[in-house]
């Protein structure tokens, strides 16, 4: 399936979106997050196998957005993943070990909505524990 072309889309105001002179398309199989009081930075990179048992992760680009934008982005990601799983077989099956220790015991074979619910339950339980 070809990649969506941003030039073929429109902004919420209806004006066409065009690629800027510094636009770049990047593949990533690794994502990290950094959060400050006012914003979130998302780092995208790619991990390579460089030896029989050695990998290197090359960070390629980061994007910083406001926390309200991050919250809306999270909603868009969930809606798009749910829509995909509604019309296709569930493909959201991260491998064990692809999450941090906090989520190490997740059932990664769950559909995305159930996986996210499980992740939210873990975070809420941790929040309650730290309040005590």
- Per-residue pLDDT reduced to its tens digit, 33-77: 999 999 999 999 999 889 888 999 999 999 999 999 999 999 888
Q: How far apart are CA 122 and CA 109, in angstroms?
A: 17
Q: E strands within the chain?
A: 30-35, 39-51, 54-66
Q: Are the beta carbons of 41 and 34 closer than 8 angstroms?
A: yes
Neighbours of 88 (CB within 10 A): 8
- Enclosing domain of residue 8: 1-65
Q: What is the pTM of this model?
A: 0.67
pLDDT for 93 beyond 70? no
Report how many domains make up the chain: 1
Return the pLDDT at 1: 36
Look at residue 73 and tell me if it is in a domain: no
Return the pLDDT at 45: 95
pLDDT cut 70: percent of the chain above it: 81
Q: Which two tokens stand for residue 99?
A: 């999450």
Look at residue 107 and tell me if it is in a domain: no
Return the pLDDT at 35: 93
């Amino acid at each position: 399936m070809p990649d969506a072309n941003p030039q073929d889309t429109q902004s919420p105001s209806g004006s066409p979106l065009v690629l800027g002179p510094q636009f770049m398309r990047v593949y990533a199989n690794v994502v990290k997050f950094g959060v400050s009081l006012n914003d979130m930075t998302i780092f995208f990179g790619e991990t390579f196998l460089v030896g029989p048992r050695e990998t290197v992760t090359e960070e390629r680009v980061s994007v910083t957005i406001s926390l309200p934008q991050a919250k809306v982005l999270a909603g868009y990601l969930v809606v798009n993943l749910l829509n995909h799983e509604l019309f296709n077989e569930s493909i959201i099956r991260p491998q064990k070990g692809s999450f941090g220790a906090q989520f190490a015991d997740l059932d990664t074979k769950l559909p995305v909505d159930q996986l996210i619910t499980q992740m939210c339950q873990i975070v809420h339980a941790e929040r309650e524990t730290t309040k005590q």
